[in-house]
Structure 1
Amino acid sequence: MTTSTASEPSAAAPLLDLQALVVAVRRRRRLWSSMALLGLLVGAAVAVLMPPPPTAVTKVLVAHQADQPNDPGTLIRTDVALLRTTRIASNALRSLGSSERPEDFMREYGGLGLTNNLLQIDVTGDSDAEAVARAGALADAFVADHVKRIQEGANAEAKALLDQRDRMRDELARVNKTIGEGATGSGPEASANLESLFARRAELTSRIADFDQRAADARTGTPPLVAGTQIVDGPRTVRHSLPRATATDAAIGLALGLALGLALAAIGAVVADRPVLRREIAANLGASVIAELRRTPRRSAGPWQRRRTRAARARLTATLARIVRGSAEPVSLLELGCSRGTGVIALDLAGALAEDGPVVIVDHLPGLRLADRRRKPGDPTVVGVERAGDLPHQERRLGVGSVAPGTAWTDLQYLGTRTVLVVRAGRGSAAWLHTVARQLADQRIPVLGVVLVDPDPRDRTDGTLWDRPHTTPRGPNERPALQNGGGTSHAAQAGTERLPTWAARIPDSDQEAR
């Protein structure tokens, strides 16, 4: 069981109650389900009203001189970046004979590296034929640019090698000339010098031959790279399936709408701070939940649901009748967020109390009041609050009013010196529930209990304030005001024995009924 005391510091409460947040979001299912449905419809409408433009695709096999088996895709990403350059775009537009700006054309195509050597090019156009022509021209321009860069690189490498070879040849010629001039000399020193010149000539000859071979290899390696860079999949149009696109966009819209709706519902629940769990409502009002009344949809209610609703209302009426009969002072029903339902409850309760004597309902409900409704045979007498002082004391009075924002608090004492609050879950903020409890305490109107309307069906918290001093929650700097007589429980003040919440709870589902 959940216990709560007035002396608990507010800092001990968690900053965010996940259970309350989940319940609040679930109760706002109309919001996030509407957002999800709206996202579904918008996604489907986008697919139908804004179909993708005609698109063509082609694939190019790109050969790189520095290909490695463990390449992480750096080379193909470089090719994708080179594809989106004004040089290649200009060459493609020139081959098409188009006057379009290269910068505009670059927005209509893109590249994707499928593997380390396979490049996919996607191009859009005003028609399928234009898209195919653009894809072909763009692929040809990329292949030509790639081959040109390979050949330029090979020629530059060969030229550098040949330049180095020529320098070696010049040096070899100087060595040969020196050898020819020193052949006429004699002596040990001349012989040693001549021997070193012969060694240098042999080294230069070997290096010249090596540079010749490397230059030839540089030129020889270019043809395989040029031949390896080619279009392997010619340009073709991409067929778009309208049903598939509609289903995909609708699913994406549904997911985005649902996510947005859940986020809005969660943010709204945190900002609004409207208690939904019975333990929170009881703690904020300072009174136990003595009964509940589940909400049954009118349109979808079947005969068995209507029978269970009538049985639930009958049990609620019997519970309230015991409380009113056990009270020596007039009792009122004060609503918060359920004025119409409170009026129906008051009429049922007055009919049950009519067996003990005449009952007069003092009506102070906002909007459609009971005093203005058409009377039926057997209905109790209904008067306004302005005539409450003229009623004879021997008649039992049952006041009906509201504690919604804008309530005239000083009029509540004319409805009854004791009250039962009828509160719809999730309608009042925590601050307003505190205000209601404080104002009732200031008016010396004890709260006998709370009837919770439309509770969450999955709420398993306890709404009974066990062993709690009967004081009304007030502000942090205010002195608590005495709400009831000390030492007795809320249910005992109503003239009945103290019962936990589950004893007076009115089930509305098969699971709780069992």
Structure 2
Amino acid sequence: MTTSTTAESSASSAAAPLLDLQALVVAVRRRRRLWGALALLGLLAGAALAVLMPPSPTAVTEVLVAHEADQPNDTGTLIRTDVQLLQTTQIADKALRALRSTDKPEDFMQDYRGTGLTNNLLQITVTGDTDAQAVARARALADAFVADHVQRMQKTAQAEAQALLDQRDRMRDELAQVNKEIGNQSADSNPKASASLESLFARRAELNSRISDFDERAADARTGAPQVVAGTQIVDTPHALRQSLPKAVATDAAIGLVLGLVLGLALAAVGTVVADRPVLRRDIAANLGASVVAELPRRTGRPWQRRRTRLTRERLTATLARTTRDSAEPVSLLELGCARSTSVIALDLARAMAAEGPVTVVDGLPGPQSAGRRRRPGDPTVVGAERAATVPPQDRRIGVGSVAPGTAWTDLPYLGTRTVLVVRAGHGSAAWLHTVARQLADQRIAVIGVVLIDPDPRDRTDGTLWDGAHTAPRGLSERPARQPGGGTSHAVQAVGEGRRRPERQPVWAARGPENDQEAR
């Protein structure tokens, strides 16, 4: 039996996903106050930044750049080269000299940028202290770039033409040598010299052709530079950009909103994974080893939801009243993260049972949750836990306590040997829920069910343990304890009627004693 139970627990643990996306989404959605506040903070910060730090005056101009090696299928390599050349200290220094400015070229380079709009169109954006300064900087920078580009193209053309002319001069020197040999051999009447003379004539004709070709190529190289010079020019006069404060505020606010929202969602997701606080009713029931029998919102809610909330409270009160009537042992309500809601449920239960006899509520909650309330006509008697011994034996007792960290576990049986856990979703960690289930089992307190406070409205998981024990399994192998009134403890009884399925070890029982000590 033990081997099969352990095998089933191991199989269920292995089948559990490492990260439950459904629980993560629900937990992040429940922390909407966090990421909503960060999104609002980002929006306000962006708007304030746009107002307190407005953008600097900006001027823009466009330059048409002609390249000697322009190709229709160019992917933008040449214009990207021009953009990088614009971001050089040589161009910046020439622009500063034209402006007669004492700024450093390295500092000036931080105030402008170039953007390649097309393969031959370069946009230059410059900032300054005023609009006039920005326009002057843009003009000086465009002129410096055009001058540098034209100068480089001219130097390239001159270098190419000079190389061709040098080749032509070498050919002319060789032609002169060939002509000299032809003159020397023409005076010789030797038959062998006539054959050599024919080869010299052929060589002279070839040299003349190559010299003519070099002349044409040198001329083409010299005429290529004027086309580049004429094609490179400023096509858009430098002008200041109009800065719209409302537009800047809206843009910065939108950026801040998106960044804040992303940061908030990331923090909420990381916090959810690290904290490991179950939110879904399925996980809470599995960790506590008891089924969820009812759900209540934490707040009253909107006006159209109040009637449904009131009906839910009435059904819960009626269910607890039937359970309390049928029980020969005192029943308690133990809260985790919802002391106020638990005290309200206890008072409603006591009022519902007051017609059948005297009812006393034993308040063991920290602080004046129930005992400190102002009594109204018809309210039950509420006493503190220290006065529980003074309650008359004929009075029906309803205990109210807490299972929050720091609880005196040995005092809980005096509130009631059967209990209903009132748990706020997402309040306790999985380790603490395991601890609560183990401690209640050690104290032989039967868990009738779980009332979930502040559940997620979109939670569609099942909070009923269909194939698990309804109470903590430690009490299954122990004899019922004798109560002072002559009754016996029902910590091992199952709640509900009908055919029971084979019991299986709850999720928390597979953690082992070493994890139990860690949770405590």
TM-score, structure 2 normalization = 0.89
Cross-structure match for 1:87: 90
Aligned in 2, Cα 1:332/1:6: closer, same or farther, shift over 3 Å?
A: farther
CA contact (8 A) 2:58 2:128 kept: yes
Q: CA 1:469–1:305 in structure 2 vs 1: closer, same or farther (change >3 Å)?
A: closer
Cα drift, residue 470 of structure 1: 4.2
Alignment partner of 1:366 is 2:366: yes
CA contact (8 A) 1:471 1:481 kept: no
**1:325 to 1:485, Cα distance in 2 relative to 1, 3 A:** closer
Q: Which amino acid in structure 2 is aligned with residue 489 of structure 1?
A: A
Tell me if the contact between 1:442 and 1:481 (Cα under 8 Å) persists in the aligned partners: no
Match of 2:245 in 1: 242
Give secondary structure in 1 for the equivalent of 2:122.
strand
| CA distance in 2 between partners of 1:435 and 1:485 (Å) | 21
Distance 2:144 2:467 in 1: 86
Structure 1 residues 153 and 81, CA gap change in structure 2 (3 angstroms): same
Q: Tell me the distance in 2 between the aligned counterparts of 1:420 and 1:271.
A: 29
Bigger CA drift: 70-79 or 306-315?
306-315
Q: For residue 417 of structure 2, what is the aligned residue in structure 1? A: 417
CA drift at 1:497: 11
SS at the partner of 1:431?
Answer: helix
* Other-structure match for 1:33: 36
Q: Letter of the 1:397 partner, please give it.
A: R
Alignment correspondent of 2:4: none
Which runs of no fewer than 5 residues in structure 2 stay unpaired?
A: 1-7, 481-488, 501-520
Aligned partner of residue 355 in structure 2, secondary structure: coil
1:109/1:123 contact within 8 Å kept = yes
Q: Counterparts of 1:76-225 in structure 2 under 5 Å?
A: 76-225=79-228
Write the letter of the residue equivalent to 1:406. Answer: G
Give the Cα–Cα distance (whole angstroms) in 2 for the partners of residues 382 and 87 of structure 1. Answer: 89
2:496 is aligned with 1:491: yes
CA distance change for structure 1 residues 291 and 263 in 2, over 3 Å: closer, same or farther? same
Choose the corresponding residue for 1:69, options 59, 66, 72: 72
Deviation at 1:7, TM superposition (A): 6.5
Please tell me the residue identity of whatever aligns with 1:182.
Q
Equivalent positions of 1:393-472 (< 5 A) are 393-470=393-470, 472=472
Give, in whole Å, the separation in 1 of the partners of 2:328 and 2:175. 131
In the alignment, the residues of structure 2 paired with residue 263 and residue 486 of structure 1 have an alpha-carbon distance, to the nearest angstrom, of 43
The question of 1:349 aligning with 2:353 is answered: no
8 Å contact 2:281–2:463 — kept in the other structure? yes
Which stretches in structure 1 are left out of the alignment for 5+ residues? Answer: 499-514
2:516 aligns to what?
A: none
SS at match of 2:452: strand
C-alpha change, 1:395 and 1:381, in structure 2 (3 Å) is same
SS at match of 2:458: coil
State the shift of 1:480 in Å.
Answer: 8.8
**Which residue identity lines up with residue 451 of structure 1 in the other structure?**
V
- Partners in 1 of 2:372 and 2:295 — Cα distance? 28
Percentage identity across paired residues of the two chains: 74
Superposed displacement of residue 188, structure 1 = 3.5
- Residue-by-residue CA offset, 1:21-55 (whole Å, 9 max, x unaligned): 11111111111111111111111111111111000
**Residue number in structure 2 paired with 1:231:** 234
* 8 Å CA contact 1:285, 1:473 repeated in 2: no
The structural deviation recorded for 1:295 is 3.1
CA contact (8 A) 1:472 1:481 kept: no
Deviation sequence 1:122-174 (CA, Å, 0-9, x none): 01111000000010010000000011011111110011000111111111111
Question: Structure 1 residues 470 and 449 mapped into 2: Cα distance closer, same or farther (>3 Å)?
Answer: closer
- SS in structure 2 of the partner of residue 334 of structure 1: strand
Give the superposition deviation at 1:389. 3.0
Q: How far apart, in 1, do the equivalents of 2:392 and 2:490 lie?
A: 28
Indicate the residue corresponding to 1:329 in structure 2.
Answer: 329
Q: Distance in 2 between matches of 1:224 and 1:310?
A: 88
Contact 1:321 1:353 (8 Å CA) reproduced: yes
Q: Answer yes or no: is the 8 Å Cα contact 1:449–1:491 preserved in 2.
A: no
Q: Please give the secondary structure, in 1, of the residue aligned with 2:332.
A: strand
Contact 2:127 2:134 in 1 (8 A): yes
Deviation for aligned residue 1:394: 2.4
Q: Which amino acid aligns with 2:252?
A: D
Change (3 A) 1:438 1:181: same
Shift of 1:371: 2.0
- TM-aligned CA distance change 1:367 to 1:481, over 3 Å: farther
Matched, 1:293 2:259: no
Shift of 1:297: 4.5
Change (3 A) 1:177 1:31: same
Q: What is the number of residues matched between the two proteins?
A: 484
CA–CA separation in structure 1 for the residues paired with 2:211 and 2:204: 11
Q: In 2, distance between residues paired with 1:462 and 1:289?
A: 9
Query: Aligned with 1:467: secondary structure?
Result: coil
Q: Aligned residue for 1:315?
A: 315
Q: What letter corresponds to residue 63 of structure 1 in structure 2?
A: A
Provide the rounded CA distance (Å) in 1 between the counterparts of 2:491 and 2:472.
12
TM-score w.r.t. length of structure 1: 0.90
The answer to whether the Cα contact below 8 Å between 2:331 and 2:415 also exists between their aligned partners in 1 is yes
Please report the RMSD computed on the Cα atoms of aligned residues, expressed in angstroms.
2.1
In the alignment, which residue of structure 2 is the partner of 1:509?
none
